[in-house]
Amino acid sequence: MTNKVSTDELLKRVEERKKFLELIIDCIPKLVLEHGERVSYVEKPYHIEAEHVLKGLDGFSFYTQGSFTMYGGENLKVWHHPGSTKSEGVAPVLNIDWWKGVEDCKVHAFNPGSEWQKRLKAIAADKDTALRKAAQAAAEQASNDKRVAQEAARVAAEQHARRLLEANLPKEAERLRVA
């Protein structure tokens, strides 16, 4: 048996991929520019290079790199890390370069899984909800981080007080004639 795909099936897959990439190229870089963090910005004689990141948006992180000229030149990397706000150690599910749009793009990485694609389409369709959820998750994480830091400080203070008490215990016992 062969894995040969019919021309009609291949055409269908190519059109579906183009449609998906068009949606992503039209939406996600704008989202990253508007709500992400600028990593670098360099003005050169004939163009501007800029990099932006947006982390932890509904289980996704994004990186964009653009060379803003009349010729274009963009790169987008997308990481999917459900249940986490961090992308460290996770391979990108999408890595794409383009100049004008999907018609001249080059896909460097495309994870064939459908779950991330569905979720990314949902973000593209309803950015406001995704941003609201991300802000809520970030606030919850900050609150949790604060609680953890407070607990660590409390434990450290108790341990310090205990060490001081133990260091002075023989003198205290002698002073009070306990030992």
pTM for the complete prediction? 0.69
User: Does residue 138 or residue 102 have the better pLDDT?
Assistant: 102
Q: H helices of the chain, where?
A: 7-35, 115-125, 127-175
Distance CA 16, CA 23 (A): 11
Report, in this order, helix, strand and coil percent for the chain, each rounded to 5: 50, 25, 25
**Residues paired with residue 107 on neighbouring β-strands, in sequence order:** 96
Q: How far apart are CA 68 and CA 40, in angstroms?
A: 13
Taking residues 173-177, report their average pLDDT: 82
Domain spans of the chain, in order of start: 7-123, 126-179
pLDDT over 80 (residue 101): yes
Angle between helices 7-35 and 127-175 (to 10 degrees): 60
Mean pLDDT, residues 127-136 taken together = 72
Please give the backbone phi and psi of residue 64, each rounded to the nearest 5 degrees, phi first: -125, 145
